[in-house]
Amino acid sequence: MKDTALRPRDLEEALILRRETGGILYAGGTDLMVRSARWGTVNADADRPVMFIGHLEELRQVATEPGFLVIGTCATLSSLRGHPDVPVLLKRIIGSMASPAVRNMATMGGNVCNASPAGDTIPYLLAMNGTVLCASTDDQKEIPVNEFISGPGTTILAPDEIVTGFRIPRYQFDYEFHKKVAARRANALTKASIVGLAQKIDDRLVDLRLAFGAVGPKVVRSLDCEQALLDSLSGTNGRYEREEILAAVLRRYARILSPIDDQRSTADYRGTVAIRLARHFLKEVLGLSYQP
């Protein structure tokens, strides 16, 4: 029988095998196996072997560096949720994903490399300015997540490379927001999601970031919209002025969000929901929420 899979002993061997075979990487398998159940194969390109990497200890670690958290690509979602160094916001996002049993198998690397616009850890990485760490036998790269993901289901990972982990600035924002809209509580694919972060100094907004999931071919973040909002605030705007500024920035976002129209939800619905989520967060940041 032909060996249809490889099982490297360590990362070094995995990198060599990846260079030699271009093997399809199997981490937790929760995306690959569903794909294989639907299409009868884990990949359209059946000539490449599958390579198991989920067991490689080097890829399962969570480490802190000065100012950064480094998450190993094969750390399972459950292990991250239970890890003392993982930020609360990421834990909350993980808690909204799949079900406990799926989270025991699924990895963060698989979620990002799957490159679905509905991949729930991607808006987090994007908002946090997280990077993707890639390795080959003779090189190591660090790539911003929005460059790494090139389109729906596609990345710029080279055929001889393996993602080894994610480097995330360790930074606590004054406002940290996550909301995911889905049809039911567990195992429901995201219809629209948002991660919002904001920082103030002396009541003045100095940093604002919004990342939207499931509303376009890729997860969306607009530095232009963020900067425009910061620029239009002087720090002394009255309530009416802030309402106007909010409306203007939401109109800008509405223009760039282009949801995919599929059976899960109509494009209009997704776009509308995403804007509503943004409004909710920005109202709070701009001090426009109703306070009883």
Partner 1 sequence: MTIAFVVNGRPVVLETDPLRRLIDVLREDLGLTGVKEGCGEGECGACSVLIDERPALACIVAVGAVEGRHVVTIEGYQERDLFRKVASAFSETGALQCGFCTPGMIIAAGALIDACSDPDEETIREALSGNLCRCTGYNRIVQAVMRASRETKEPSSL
Contact status: 181 vs partner 1 (CB under 8 A): no
Helix (H) or strand (E) holding 228: helix 223-232
How does strand 149-151 pair with strand 139-144?
unpaired
Of the candidate residues 10, 12, 34, 287, the single one contacting partner 1 (CB under 8 A): 34
- C-alpha 268/C-alpha 192 separation (Å) is 11
Residues of span 185-224 touching ligand FAD by CB under 6 A: 187
Of the candidate residues 6, 14, 17, 27, the single one contacting ligand FAD (CB under 6 A): 27
Q: For residue 105, what are its two tokens?
A: 């198998």
Q: How many residues bind partner 1 (CB under 8 A)?
A: 29
Contact status: 28 vs ligand FAD (CB under 6 A): yes
* H-assigned helices in 40-171: 77-81, 88-95, 100-105, 108-114, 122-127, 145-148
Instruction: Name which of 34 and 183 has its Cβ closer to ligand FAD.
Output: 34
Radius of gyration of the chain (CA): 20
Of the candidate residues 10, 12, 48, 55, the single one contacting partner 1 (CB under 8 A): 55
Q: Any idea which residue has 């920035």 for tokens?
A: 249
- C-alpha 15/C-alpha 19 separation (Å) is 6
User: Which of partner 1, ligand FAD, none is residue 5 near (CB under 5 to 8 Å by kind)?
Assistant: partner 1
Q: Any idea which residue has 């289901």 for tokens?
A: 153
Q: For residue 241, what are its two tokens?
A: 């002025």
Q: For residue 272, what are its two tokens?
A: 């509308």
Contact status: 265 vs ligand FAD (CB under 6 A): no
User: Which of ligand FAD, partner 1, none is residue 222 near (CB under 5 to 8 Å by kind)?
Assistant: none
Instruction: Name which of 36 and 272 has its Cβ closer to ligand FAD.
Output: 36
DSSP secondary structure code for residue 57 in this structure? G
Of the candidate residues 8, 87, 117, 119, the single one contacting ligand FAD (CB under 6 A): 119
Of the candidate residues 73, 79, 131, 146, the single one contacting ligand FAD (CB under 6 A): 73
Instruction: Name which of 32 and 134 has its Cβ closer to partner 1.
Output: 32
Contact status: 79 vs ligand FAD (CB under 6 A): no
Strand order across the beta sheet in which 192-201 lies: 175-181, 192-201, 204-213
| Residue 34 Cβ vs partner 1, minimum distance, rounded to whole Å | 5
| Residue 43 Cβ vs ligand FAD, minimum distance, rounded to whole Å | 8
| Helix/strand number for the chain, H first, E second | 11, 13
| Residue 49 Cβ vs partner 1, minimum distance, rounded to whole Å | 10
Of the candidate residues 172, 187, 227, 289, the single one contacting partner 1 (CB under 8 A): 187
Distant-in-sequence, close-in-space partners of 185: CB < 8 Å, separation ≥ 6: none
- C-alpha 189/C-alpha 120 separation (Å) is 9
Q: Which residues bind partner 1 (CB under 8 A)?
A: 1, 3-5, 7, 26, 29-30, 33-34, 36-38, 42, 50, 52, 54-55, 78, 98-102, 104-105, 185-187
